[in-house]
Amino acid sequence: MDLTAPAIFELGLLLLLAALAGRGARALGLPAVIGYLVVGVAVSPFTPGYVANREQLSILANVGVVLLLFEVGIEINPLRLARERRRLLLLSPLQVIVTGLLSATVCVALGMNPAGAALIGLSLAMSSSVVVVNITRSRRRTTDGATDETLLAWSVIQDLVGVGAAIVLDVVLGIGTRTGLAALVGVVGFVALAALAALAVPWLLRRLQTEHDLFLLVSVASGLLVAGVGARFFDIPLALAAFVAGVAITESPVAAEARHRLLPFRDLFAVMFFVALGTIIDPRLLPGALPWLALFLVTIAVAKVALVWLLARVAKLEARSLQLAVGLGQVGEFSYVLAALALGAGFISNEVSAGLVSAVVISIALSSILVRVVGRRYFAPETPPSTTSPDAITNRDSSEAR
């Protein structure tokens, strides 16, 4: 038997199950993401029946994350972001700091190790870039252009602040293998790599513009390669490295075409991220994790959703404040890294880790559903949500969205 047959069979099976579950979720008026999560739970090692190869699934999920964030980086113009969304450069870091401090304080008050509380606090302060992108790309989205732009920009700035804070905690708590100098050198090295990519990739793509197959290969390869090098050799989180890789070529004349070519691959592999997410839930740990799960969900609602809503109202952002807050009201994929560090260092227990993982999945599901429910209050049923204007930060064809 061909040794690759099991892997090919599993990929086909998971894609088919995801498609059916996504269709079923939409038939119930739910986002397709919910169906993908259910498939992940069904094929996890913690539930009876077929068990998916988690290592292979993780690779496919990471490819999806890279292509998704690479495409977002291509369409976000950082210069225009700084000019037109300057208030977010203050609001997003402020939200990360306040949410992190409040969450950590609550955890310490309940007896958690201060080091573990700091990592948990930062985890809860971060949103999922993948979910935010999915919200703004959904064919059935109820957000408008200004809210989409603000969601994306807020999430991106969160990632930048969160990575910086994680590096500081890594060095201060001594849970990583790098010194502060090594971490700084890694960041500088990756910035240099991104600058080189900003020159080389557009130059190469321009010369391959009439060679459609080669243009596609280079478009995909550049995103994967820059993100992979950043994560492998410079210790930059994969999602952030992919985003920076996209930003590096956003100003080039071929950026729009490169993004358009990436869309089918992005949609195909991004599904695997949500399936992989469902496979990490261990129901056996849930009874002991329930108190922590409840605490984390309440903390997200109070110290994150309510805080974002308040900041958006005070700053008088153009975005729909409540929908913005709900759209950011989930825990991000970066939390896995922080939780794994905390658990490996003995700062948190297995129950706390299970509670955080469960909070990730539940908050993603709730955010994906509630952002649509909240959005319906902003427009009449017969009136579709507005699309992004030509002068907006991002340029998107919503018909390409999932």
Report DSSP letters for 17-53, one per residue: HHHHHHHHHHHTT--HHHHHHHHHHHTSTTSSS----
What's the angle, vertex CA 81, arms to CA 76 and CA 84, rounded to 5? 140
Q: How far apart are CA 30 and CA 21, in angstroms?
A: 11
Predicted local distance difference test score (pLDDT) of residue 104: 94
Q: Please, how many CA atoms are within 13 Å of residue 377, restricted to the half-sphere of its CB?
A: 8
178 located within any domain: yes
Least confident of 81-90, 257-266, 312-321: 81-90
Q: How far apart are CA 340 and CA 368, in angstroms?
A: 25
- 396 confidence band (pLDDT: 50, 70, 90): very low
Examine the pLDDT at 175 and tell me if it is beyond 80: no
Predicted local distance difference test score (pLDDT) of residue 294: 95
Task: Report the chain's mean pLDDT, rounded to a whole number.
Answer: 82
- 248 or 352, which is more confident? 352
Report whether 372 contacts 108 (CB < 8 A): no
Q: How far apart are CA 262 and CA 260, in angstroms?
A: 5
Q: How far apart are CA 206 and CA 215, in angstroms?
A: 9
Q: Please, how many CA atoms are within 13 Å of residue 279, restricted to the half-sphere of its CB?
A: 21
Least confident of 27-36, 237-246, 376-385: 376-385
288 located within any domain: no
Predicted local distance difference test score (pLDDT) of residue 79: 64
Examine the pLDDT at 395 and tell me if it is beyond 60: no
Predicted local distance difference test score (pLDDT) of residue 171: 67
- 394 confidence band (pLDDT: 50, 70, 90): very low
Least confident of 38-52, 131-145, 373-387: 373-387
Least confident of 25-29, 196-200, 211-215, 375-379: 375-379
Q: Give the C-alpha distances (Å, rounded to integers) separating 266 from 89, 98, 261.
A: 28, 33, 9
End-to-end CA distance of the chain: 36
Q: How far apart are CA 212 and CA 93, in angstroms?
A: 41
Q: What is the mean pLDDT of residues 254-262?
A: 81
284 located within any domain: no
Q: How far apart are CA 78 and CA 190, in angstroms?
A: 18
Examine the pLDDT at 61 and tell me if it is beyond 90: no
Give, for 133, the enclosing helix (H) or strand (E).
Answer: helix 129-137
Q: Helix, strand, coil % (nearest 5) of the chain?
A: 75, 0, 25
**Which pLDDT tens digit goes with each residue over 149-160?**
889 889 888 877
Predicted local distance difference test score (pLDDT) of residue 329: 93
Predicted local distance difference test score (pLDDT) of residue 83: 62
Q: What is the mean pLDDT of residues 241-256?
A: 79
Considering Cα of 210, then 212, then 213, then 219, what sign does the dihedral take? positive
Range of the domain at 218: 64-269+295-400
Predicted local distance difference test score (pLDDT) of residue 84: 56
Token pair recorded at residue 362: 């539940």
Residue among 291, 383, 365 nearest 326 (CA): 365
31 located within any domain: no
| Residue 215, number of CB atoms within 10 A of its CB | 20
Q: What is the mean pLDDT of residues 77-103?
A: 82
204 located within any domain: yes
pTM higher than 0.85? no
Report whether 278 contacts 21 (CB < 8 A): no
Examine the pLDDT at 397 and tell me if it is beyond 70: no
Of 70-84, 184-198, 252-266, 382-396, which one has max mean pLDDT?
Answer: 184-198
- List the CATH number of the domain containing 83: 1.20.1530.20
Q: What is the mean pLDDT of residues 84-98?
A: 87
Q: Give the C-alpha distances (Å, rounded to integers) separating 89 from 156, 162, 200, 217.
A: 10, 13, 29, 35
What's the number of domains the chain is made of?
1
**Which pLDDT tens digit goes with each residue over 24-43?**
988 887 878 889 889 998 99
Least confident of 192-201, 267-276, 314-323, 380-389: 380-389
Report residue 114: phi and psi, to 5°: -55, -40
Predicted local distance difference test score (pLDDT) of residue 300: 95
Examine the pLDDT at 187 and tell me if it is beyond 70: yes
- 227 or 344, which is more confident? 227
329 located within any domain: yes
Residue among 351, 331, 348 nearest 339 (CA): 348
Predicted local distance difference test score (pLDDT) of residue 402: 42
Which residues are CB-neighbours of 134 under 8 A, at least 6 positions away? 31, 33, 270, 368, 402
Predicted local distance difference test score (pLDDT) of residue 131: 85
Which residues are CB-neighbours of 262 under 8 A, at least 6 positions away? 67, 70, 71, 74, 219, 220, 223
Of 45-49, 294-298, 369-373, which one has max mean pLDDT?
Answer: 294-298
Predicted local distance difference test score (pLDDT) of residue 379: 57
Predicted local distance difference test score (pLDDT) of residue 399: 37
Predicted local distance difference test score (pLDDT) of residue 323: 93
In order, the DSSP letters of 206-259 are: HHTTT-HHHHHHHHHHHHHHHHHHHHHHH---HHHHHHHHHHHTTTSTTHHHHH
Q: How far apart are CA 402 and CA 398, in angstroms?
A: 9
391 located within any domain: yes
262 located within any domain: yes
Report whether 140 contacts 372 (CB < 8 A): yes
